[in-house]
Structure 1
Amino acid sequence: MAKQAWLEDKCKNVEAYLTRGKIDTAYRKIRETFEDKRTTCMNIKSLDGNPVLSKEGKAERWKEYIEGLYKGDVLEDDIMEMGEDVDEDEMGDMVLREEFDRALKDLSRNKAPGVDNIPLELLTALGEPVLTKLYHLVSKMYETGLLTHNPAYENVSVFPM
């Protein structure tokens, strides 16, 4: 009977909102009353099944879990070659063409040019031969160390003015 009375009270409130023209409030009340409440459980349990409560304990449990995933995988030290061990003729470009093209594509259109005063629209309008030359120029600048994250080179223009 208590549940029936509670439900009738909720329905009267919704009807009152509907008669006053407050449809959005009525639907919100319906959703609050009848929508399934979904709770998520974020409990982390130790190997023996007990809940872990401290942050340090949770971090340690995650570490154990990840180590367990990779248990038995043996990583060899010689998987990757060191740069100084590879012949220069066999090394690829420091900047891949795909990276160069993606950087051009990601630049904002119709914006003011950067420190080199060259608008992106000009570069793209010049076509593929110019972009290929620019790519080779940028690659050569990376190889020589001119294009680095060194603050001294931040205002260096790619093209001389």
Structure 2
Amino acid sequence: MGLLLARQVRHCRYYPAGSNKLVARPKPGLTALIANRLAELAIAADHETAVKLHRLRLTVAQMRVLLALSDEGVAQSALARALHCDVSNLTSLLRRLERRRLITRSAADGDRRYKPVSLTLAGRRMQQRLLPIQAQVAGQLYGHLTRRQQRQLYDLVASRSWLHSERC
């Protein structure tokens, strides 16, 4: 409903700053329309994922952390880079996951500042529960596309891999 309302508002009239004359809002260009649709898809994916994660008592950001980890320890800075988020935001996420015993952070030998992040057994089990959720949401959003269209969409999005956003 909110997205529909936002779409309708874009094309209405408005008062420009410092003017008392009502003017028609300009129609957005194609790149703006693409950006809006991609943002709407990201919001829809996060919402659908959050609904499914609620019963697991996880957030979308926590899910991303768990899915980014492997059995070997990963430096927090490397994990933050992989997730495109700030280390300080990641630290609070890791603290919550650690409290739930899904991950561990222990100081490495010889360097107390380096604390590699690793999945616990419970974390690996949770990771296995998250994979079908991720696939189900992707199927809801992109399942109507042919395999060829999915490949084209992936190639288009992957070609802009330099784009980074703070998601955590």
User: Normalised by the size of structure 2, how large is the TM-score?
Assistant: 0.20
Structure of higher RCO (CA pairs closer than 8 Å, 6+ residues apart): 2
User: Normalised by the size of structure 1, how large is the TM-score?
Assistant: 0.21
Q: Rg: which structure is higher?
A: 1
